[in-house]
């Protein structure tokens, strides 16, 4: 990409400087996790704490896999976060399309309801939800984690807002003139336009699902955990073994960072493409 303005200009440099500063603050914790994960537990009590990695990283990671069913946990989290992401993105785009561009009775009401649902404090729903899972015989299974997260109002709202702006009404009308039904309209016109927002939503959903903690902890057993549940077992005990805990965190986080690093270009490509189309 070539800059619109002279590359070396002062504002341009300031921009980079600012962004590098922000990147530093954002990335520091990850760096910090690696430092702690590569030390032995006692090092954390030192003041000032160590600032460069030690030599125990691999040993700690090996211990992580030894202590908890971590490989299984990674696989489970992949399944959970993956299916939630696909489902949320698909259903949100679908509903977003309907709310943003289709006309039907009760639309405002239903949309308002959708917004309303999001204000519900989640903590207290846990017991009734848990009882429901018992009835469905889903406790201890991944269904219990996936099912309630298959849709969320955030996604619907997000897509509604995006499509209402990014999807040109003329485009829809032109397609209609060509005899497109709503379903084909969705696939051939809406979905391509929605892609950039879908990429962002997918990324955020995947992350949230991956890092979800409280509900999986209640409903799953440590024998068949997600990554966060396995992590909680790792850091358990009054002797908080931070090195072990953060080695586990590193193992749990790096796949996420890798995925973003690899897909980042594509996601951003999608955003750019959306910009052109919008």
Partner 1 sequence: MRPTLGGRRARPRTRGGTPARALSATITAGALLLAGACGGSAAAGKENITLSVGLFGDFGFEPLYRRFEQAHPNVRIKERQATYDDHHTNLAAHIATGSGAADVEAIEVGYIGTYTAQPQRFVDLRKYGASTRQSEYLAWKWQQGVAANGAVIGLGTDVGGLALCYRRDLFAKAGLPADRAKVSALWPTWQAFLDTGRRFAAKAPSGAKFVDGPGEFFRAMVAQAPEGVYDRQDKVVAATNPAVKQAWDLSTRMVADGLSAKLTSFTPAWDTGFAKSSFATVACPAWMMAYIQEHSPGSSGRWDIAAIPGGGGSAGGTHLTVPTQSKHQKEAAELVQFLSAAPQQEAVFKAIGNFPSLPALYDKPEVRDHTNPFFNGAPVGKIYADSAKSLDPQHLGPAEGQVRAAIGNGLTRVDQGRQSPDQAWKQALDDVSKVK
Partner 2 sequence: MALRQTDPLPTATARRRTGPTRARHRPGGSRWNRFDRAVSPYAYVSPFLVIFAVFGLFPLLYTAWVALHDWSLLKGDQGFVGLDNFRTLLSDGNFWNAAFNTASIGVLSAVPQLLLALWLAHLLNRPLKAQTFYRITLLLPNVTSVVAVVVIFSQLFGRDYGLINMVLTHLGAGRVDWQAGTASSHVAIALMIIWRWTGYNALIYLAAMQAVPRELYEAATIDGASRLKQLRSITVPMIKPTLLFTMIVSTIGSMQIMAEPMLFGAQVGPAAIATGGAGRKFQTLSLYLYELGFRNFDFGYASAAAWLMLLLVMVAVGVNFLLARRMKGGLS
Site for partner 1 in 118-177 (CB under 8 A): 126-127, 130-131, 134, 139-140
Q: Which of 9, 59, 150, 188 is in the footprint of partner 2 by CB under 8 A?
A: 150
Q: Which of 43, 72, 79, 207 is in the footprint of partner 2 by CB under 8 A?
A: 207
Distance between CA 154 and CA 201 in Å, rounded?
Answer: 9
Instruction: Write the DSSP string, 15-79.
Output: HHHHHHHHHHHHHHHHHHHHHHHTS-GGGGGSSSPP-S--S-HHHHHHHHHHHS-HHHHHHHHHH
Q: How far is the CB of 78 from partner 1 (least distance, A)?
A: 22
By beta-carbon proximity to partner 1, the closer residue of 210 and 215 is 215
Q: Which of 73, 81, 145, 156 is in the footprint of partner 2 by CB under 8 A?
A: 156
Is position 42 an interface residue for partner 1 (rule: CB under 8 A)?
A: yes
Residue 66: closest CA among 247, 229, 210: 247
Residues 185-244 that bind partner 1 (CB under 8 A): 217-219, 221-223, 232-233, 235-241, 244
Distance between CA 159 and CA 150 in Å, rounded?
Answer: 15
Assess contact for 89 and 206: CB atoms under 8 A. no
Assess contact for 232 and 223: CB atoms under 8 A. no
| From the list partner 1, partner 2, none, partner contacted by residue 52 (C-beta under 5 to 8 A by kind) | none
Distance between CA 80 and CA 209 in Å, rounded?
Answer: 7
| From the list partner 1, partner 2, none, partner contacted by residue 139 (C-beta under 5 to 8 A by kind) | partner 1
Binding residues (CB under 8 A) for partner 1: these are 41-42, 45-47, 66-67, 126-127, 130-131, 134, 139-140, 217-219, 221-223, 232-233, 235-241, 244
């Amino acid at each position: 990409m070539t800059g619109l303005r002279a590359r070396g200009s002062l504002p341009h440099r300031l921009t980079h400087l600012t962004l590098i500063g922000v990147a530093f603050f954002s990335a520091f914790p990850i760096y910090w996790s690696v430092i702690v994960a590569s030390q032995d537990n006692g090092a954390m009590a030192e003041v000032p704490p160590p600032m460069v990695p030690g030599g125990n990283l691999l040993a700690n990671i090996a211990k992580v896999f030894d202590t908890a069913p971590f490989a299984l946990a990674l696989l489970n989290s992949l399944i959970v976060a993956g299916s939630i992401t696909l489902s949320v993105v698909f259903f949100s785009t679908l509903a977003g399309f309907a709310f943003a561009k289709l006309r039907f009775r009760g639309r405002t009401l239903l949309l308002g309801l959708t917004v309303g649902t999001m204000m519900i404090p989640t903590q207290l729903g846990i017991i009734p939800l848990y009882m429901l899972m018992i009835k469905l015989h889903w406790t201890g299974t991944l269904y219990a984690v996936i099912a309630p997260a298959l849709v969320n109002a955030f996604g619907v709202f997000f897509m509604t807002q995006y499509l209402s702006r990014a999807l040109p009404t003329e485009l829809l009308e032109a397609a209609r003139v060509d005899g497109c039904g709503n379903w084909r309209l969705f696939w051939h016109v809406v979905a391509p336009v929605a892609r950039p927002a879908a990429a962002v939503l997918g990324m955020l959903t995947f992350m949230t699902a991956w890092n979800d903690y409280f509900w999986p902890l209640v409903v799953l057993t440590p024998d068949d955990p997600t990554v966060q549940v396995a992590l909680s077992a790792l850091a358990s005990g009054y002797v908080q073994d931070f090195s072990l805990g953060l080695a586990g965190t590193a193992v749990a986080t790096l796949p996420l960072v890798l995925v973003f690093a690899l897909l980042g270009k594509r996601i951003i490509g999608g955003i750019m493409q959306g910009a052109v189309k919008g």
